[in-house]
Chain A
Amino acid sequence: MKFSSKDIVELVRKDIASRDNAIEALYKDEALRNTVIAYVRRYGGEESDGIDALTFGIMTFIKQCYRPLFELKKDVNAYVFSIAKYEWLRTKKSRKLTVPDDERHDLSDGYCIEKELIEREQHQFLTNALKQLDNKCRAVLTMWANNLRMREIALNMAYKSEGMARKKKHECIGKLRLLIKGK
C-alpha cells in the first residue's frame, strides 16, 4: 500500500494499531526493500545487512513521527532509504571496512540525516539509564513516548484516573532526568 507523506505520518501518530500497520506496510514494501538491499550489496554488504539497515530506517522514521514538529518533506520510501544508506555507512565504519569516496558522495542527496541520528555511545548511555528505571516507570514512559493518551495509559496501568497517570509520568520523567544527569 502506498501512502502520501502526510498520510503516513498521521497514521503513525493516530494510534498503536495504525502505527503497526504502517510499520508492516513499510517493512513489506518490496520496492523499498529491494532498493536498500541492492544498495548495501553494491557496497560490500549482504542481504541481512540490507534488512538490518531497512529496519533501522523504519525505526528512525517512526521515532521522528512522534516529534510533533516533524514534517516529512519527501516520499517516505526515499526518507527511509536515506536513513538506511547512512546506517550502512556507519556500520561499515564500525566494522573497520573501507568507505570509498563515491559511496560518501552517494549520501549527499540533499537531506541532512546526521542530525536525526544519535551516536551509538550516546544510545548505549541512554539505554543504560532507562534500565535503571523501575518497571512501572518504563511502562508509563514507553506508552507516553508512543503517543498514547493519558486516558489510555491510566487504563493500561489500572490507574484510577488520567490525573494519576499524568502524575506518574511526571514522576518518571523526573527520575529519568536525574539518571541522565548521573545523579
Chain B
Amino acid sequence: MNNYNLFESYIFNKITEQQRREFDQRLSADSDFREDFEEHKQVQEALNVLVEQDVSKVISSIKNNTNDNSDKPHASPRDASPRNASPRNENIKSIIPKKWLLIAASLLFIIATTFIIYSKSSTTKPSMAVADLVTLPTGGLRGSDNPNDIYLSKSIEVHALIKNKEWPQAAFILEQIVETTQNKINKDEAEWNLAVIYAQYDKAKALTIIDKILDDPQHGYSDYKKVKPLRESIK
C-alpha cells in the first residue's frame, strides 16, 4: 500500500476539489486503486476496533473506581444498579504495564530536574525549551506503515539534528518540506517547527515566520498556545 497519505487526505477532506474529482474518477476507473482504498479503510477500521477495546478497558476501570468510591457525591444510580454490576472485579489495566509507567515517570522527573538546574545555571535570559515546542512526529504514527513516508522520515531526521543542536541543517530540511509538500497540515506543522529552529540561531527569520503564522487565521498553528509565548521570548 503506497497511497497512505493520499487515502487519508481524501478521507479527512484535506484535498482540493480538483484532487477530489480526480480521486473519484480514479476510483471508478481503476479497480486496483479501488481495492487498495477499500483495504486501507478496512485496515484502519480494524485498528480502530483495537483502540476501542483498549479504551473500553480504561473506561470500565474508571467506572469501577467510581463504584468503589461510595463518598462520591455524584455517583450515578446506574452505577449502583445490579444490572450494571461489572462482571470484572480485577483491576483492568491499559496496554502499558504499570512498571513502565513508573520507569517513564522517574525518567521524566530526572530529565525535568536536570533541565531546571541546567536552565537556571546556564542562561540569564529565559528561553523556551526546543523539545517542548517541536511538534513533528517522531515515528510510529499509527497507520503510516509506509516506510517511505517522506514527511515522517524527514521529521525523524530533523529530530536527530535538533538533538545534536545542528540548527541550520534542521532548518534546511524543514524549508524543503514547506516548499514541496502538498499537504497543508504537514506544511503548517513544518512552518511552525521551522520558526522554533530559527529561534535558536536566527531570530529575525523566526519572527518573520511567527508573524506570518499569526496573521493567517487559516494557518493550523495560528491559535496554537505556544506561538505567542515563543514570539515574546525571542523579541
Q: Using CB atoms and an 8 Å cutoff, list the residues of chain A in contact with chain B.
A: 4, 6-7, 10, 15-17, 20, 23-24, 27-28, 30, 46-48, 51, 55, 58-59, 62-63, 66-71, 118, 122-123, 126-127, 129-130, 138-139, 141-150, 152-153, 155-156, 166, 169-170, 173, 176-177, 180-181
Contact = CB atoms under 8 A, between A and B. Distances in A.
Given A27-B62, A48-B83, A177 B56 contact: no
B62 A142 contact: no
B140 A180 contact: no
B12 interface: yes
A155 B11 CA distance: 33
Tier of interface size on chain B? 35 or more
A68 B151 CA distance: 12
Contact of B47 (A71, A122, A145): A145
Contact of B51 (A47, A63, A69, A177): A63
B43 A176 contact: yes
A130 B46 contact: yes
B49 A177 contact: no
A141 B53 CA distance: 12
Closest 5 CB pairs of A and B: A69-B12, A145-B47, A149-B140, A48-B78, A145-B50
12 contacts: A6-B223, A17-B96, A20-B94, A51-B78, A66-B143, A69-B9, A129-B46, A138-B50, A142-B51, A149-B138, A173-B145, A176-B46
A143 B47 CA distance: 10
Interface of B: 8-9, 11-12, 14, 39, 42-56, 58-59, 62, 74, 76-78, 81, 83-84, 94-97, 100-101, 104, 135, 137-145, 147, 185, 220, 223-225
Contacts of A118: 45, 48
Contacts of A145: 47-48, 50-51, 54, 142
Nearest to A51: B78
Chain A interface helix/strand/loop/mixed: helix
A51 B76 contact: yes
B141 to A, nearest CB: 5
Interface centre among B14, B50, B77, B101 (most CB of A within 10 A): B50
B140 A63 contact: no
